[in-house]
Structures are given as C-alpha cells and as structure tokens.
Structure 1
C-alpha cells in the first residue's frame, strides 16, 4: 500500500517525457518552436519529449521563463517507467532536486542508519533510547538536519520520515530487549492521513515481533505547529495502537507550555536550552518548574534533554524530573553501551 508521497523515488532518466500541468497553448507553442517534440496537449497537460540530459536542462530553463511558471507543476517520466503513481512537483522542488543530487540519492536509496542515545532514570539506569538518523558506515556523509531540509524542499519529506521510522524500528528489534523504551521522531507534516500514513509503521512493529507499548513516537517540530487538531488525530492513532507519544523541545520555539497542555503527551521532553546550566539560572529554574507542574496536571512524564554536567542532572533530580538524556550519559552510537545489556530490563518506565 503506497501513496505518491511515500512511493519509491525514481531517478530522472536521460530520456523520457516532461509533463506540465496548467500549461498554456502559448507555452506549448514556444516549446515546439525551440525544437522539442510535443507528445500531447490536452486538458492543460502538456507532454514534451526529451532525448538527452542536456535537452532536459534546456527545456527546464525554457519552462522557467514562461509567464505561468509559478503555477506549473511538472512530472518527469523516464522511457518505459510510467506507472500508476505519478509524482508531480513544482519547478522550485525540481531545482532543489537537481542542485542536491547527492543528498537526493541518499534519500532515494535509504543510505542511512539509526544510532541510539541512552535515556536514564533518576538512578542513572538506562531505561530507553532515542533513535537518531545517521550516515551508514562507509557511506556518503550528511548532516541529518540538512538531509531533512532538502527532503522538505524537494517534496520528499514524507518518504524520508517514513523510511527513518522503519529504520529505527528495525534497529530496535536487533539491538534492544523487550521492556526498553524506544523514542522515535516523526514530522507531523509528513502524515497526511494518520489512519493510512501510519499503517506501515504499525505493520513494521508487528512484523518485527515487538511490543507497541515499548514505543514512544515524538513530535519533532522544525516548523510551526499550526494544526493542533491534525496533531491530536495523529496522537490518537498512535495511542489507538497501544503506542505512547511525546512532545519534543518543550520550552523553545513552537513547543510551548500551552501547546503541551493542549496535546497532553505521555512524555514531555524539555529543550536543552532550558536545561543547560539550569543549576545557575533562576529564570530557567522557574521555567522548568512550570513545565513540570503543568505536565503533572495531566500525568505527563518529564524528560530533560541535553544534560552534560552532573550539576544539571542533580538539580533536575531535585525538581522531580522523571528521565534524563545527554552526553553525560552517552552520545549517539551504533550500538547500546557495553554495560547496558547486563542490566537491561531491571528498571522500566511504564
């Protein structure tokens, strides 16, 4: 089961057909006058043949100069590659794809893996891990933020977000025993219809023989949360399948205390900016107390991110924070710490 947003990303071939949607007769005439063969033109969809990569680039330049360029959407179909799902994109998305072909190849070929970073309880026992996207060993390097930004700008963010979730689920099956929480990020903007778009996630958990209650899916918001009702439906779909949810970076950007109180996530992850040197900053201390108090009103467990100093950890312990994460306890790595498997499972977090 696939929709076009998550379907495989086909390479742009050196020979094929460019389809334009919302094309005018004048644009079709201009294309013909430039020496290109018009394959079809009906209902504002214009099909134009090209036979070399250079011809394709020149054709795109011609299209970009058209008066209606901003309204056009484009689909490029290689010879013999046309299938039931046709991917349409704007000219700006196509430009991003051409100018970032290395990163697009990494996305299309899923040339990434999942690292995991420990999450500890107040007794410093590892009770969970957050899974983070990283380059494959010996693979092409990339910065995760840049990869997701290119995916967003090119229209491939749903494909990447789903592939990253599946990678984390499969890695957790290989590396972790039952009873250990697995925190996995997701972008709400990549999920158009929760009941449909999350099917592959639930199927992956089932196929790996894993327990839904061991998973926590957390909202990663690099963009404004402008549709709380949509995010509420996503949370409800996760919970309907026995999975817990978390709100990331609370106290920074768009993840405000008000948003947290409205969504009532099972886990509240406090932004590292509030945690850093919180033992020395009265303003941060007040903000932390407010988040903890408000989360307590709906039973949310609070996790402090970005802890790098024992003083920060001890202060968070005194405040009553349930969980902690940061370089103090371990950096993201391809495998759990060597001491973890000896104590795994003795301290669950519910």
Structure 2
C-alpha cells in the first residue's frame, strides 16, 4: 500500500474539466458555459495525449491520487472518466489504494450518475453544496436547491465509502447565529470530511463588480473572525478538526490529493488551464496549460500538449511556495525540509518574534506550525516568514 507522509507527499494527477451549466458570480476558476454539446470524445483523446506527454517527464512515479476538478466534472459521461483513468494507468503504475476524486454538483441528474462513476473507477466524490438555504443558493448563482443537495449527499453515502461536500459561509446578510444553525445541521450529514470556505471577493468576478459598486456587502474583519471562531468550535466539537485552513476531517480521512499540494509534492496537470509541479534533473518546474478550452484542444491535437508555461523555479520561488502551501496545514512544516527546498534557513529572529506574538508554535517533533490565533491572519504570517 502506498504510504503518504509529510516528507514524502507522493505524486498525483489533476484533470481539469472546464465546462459548467452556468457561471457562478463568486467563481474565478477556469470554467466556461457552452450552448452546444461538448465533444467529449475529442477532449478525452486530447487529455490522453497530454497524459502521455506528462508521463514522459515523470518516469518512475506511482500515481497515488487522481482528481477531476473544474468546471463541473460531473457533467462528464462516466465512459469519459473511465477513458481518462485508463490513459493514466497506461502510462504510470497506480497505487493499489489510489484515491480518485470527482467534483460534483448536486443536481438530481448528476447525482444519479454516481453509481456509473463508481464503476468507472471513482472512489470519492466532493459535492459543491455551498448552502442549505434556498435563498442563498439563488444569490450564489447555484442551479440546485437544498433538497437536491441533501439528495446528492444521500446518494453519495450509499455509493461511496468516502465523500465530502463544500459550504460557503460569511455570505451577504448572513448572521453568525444563522451560520451556526446551518453548520450544526450540515455536520449531521458528514461522514468524515467537509470543506468550509469563507466567502472572498475574487478579481474579475461578478461579485467583485457588485462589491465595487456598493451592491454587495461582505463581513468586515471582526465579523469574519466571529464566523471563523464559530466554525472552528463547532467542527472541533463534532470531531472534525481543521487539518487545513478550510478543510476538516476525521483522522485518516484527509483528502490525499490535496495533501500532495499542501505538502509540496509532485502533480501532473492536464486539461484546459491545468497547473502542475514536477521535479526534473534540472529542478522543480511549474506547468500551466492554455486556458481556453477549444484553443487547448486545437493545440493538443497539433502538438501533443498545450503547455503555455514550463518554468524552472528558483530556490527562492520554491521556498515561497513551500511556505505558502505547507503553513496552511495544522501539522505545519519541517524546517529542515524548507532548508532543503529553499537552500536557506528560516530566519530565527522572525520565528522568535512570531512565537512571542503567539502566531506560530513549535511542536514536540520540531515542526513549525501556525497557531489557532495565527490562522485567521495566515497570509501575513507567511509573508513575514518568507521575507
């Protein structure tokens, strides 16, 4: 059985399916709406070509996780998912306990596909519930209602041993008391994992335009902290502590794929707008593909891949990425591994200052982690350590 640890994060494959039925006003992901049916056969063939290209750069790896993200991967036919998984298995050894996650929207049509996805090789789903309040779902631009969300969770629980779902809090006009009531109900539906994201205004989104026009209010820092504190308290009481800033799980049920990112492992990314990080004889490289779906398809069919970024990262850049990702985890980082990645030690003076302010902690095992007090200002803590 493949073993994933903080010092050996492993290798994963990310597959980006960029299509959605509609664009949510808060979303800044690479997602696209099409009025015509997508030619899945062509896209899967192109993904297989990109997988072959990435495999040529990552020989000797064993795939420990596969993640279908989007967009809305649950719009894919099960045979398309199976085709991608077959291509992955063709090019790399696959761990016997590989985690294969597919993101899904909770519409009844997509939930009915869960059994087909399981047969195709998916063994974990992540459901974009976002809210159990119909009014708020409409404001968030979601096409499902609370009843459909509940049904999708029920189906997932029947079909998969592992599933998760997402909620967004700090929504416009939401009170902490209302969020506490919603979260308490949601926690009764959790098996072992839940993702809880505080709403942020992302650039180039409809919510940003509304916010800039004074038509959308979000919690100020004090109210945002109250939402955060309530979330941590209730999840801890439910034995679902945060293992990452926005992700909560029972011990052993963490998302293995996301741990590869946060522990600064390697991953190949295929599909429009996908990113990757791989280690070559010359060092760690950052990959990104063409974002526009049809352009990506055309380029892959012509060249075998659609990389638009293939950058050798400097040790300084690697050190910054390592801190940015690793300090999101409650387990923190190994200072010695940072030194190996970045080619320098963390500044003892900065660590001492943050320790004195209660923003970070040193564990008995010698790991550096952000404290519960420091997590709400994580970006500032990371910036201080990286300077």
Scaled by the length of structure 2, what TM-score is found?
0.37
Which protein is bigger by CA-based radius of gyration?
A: 1
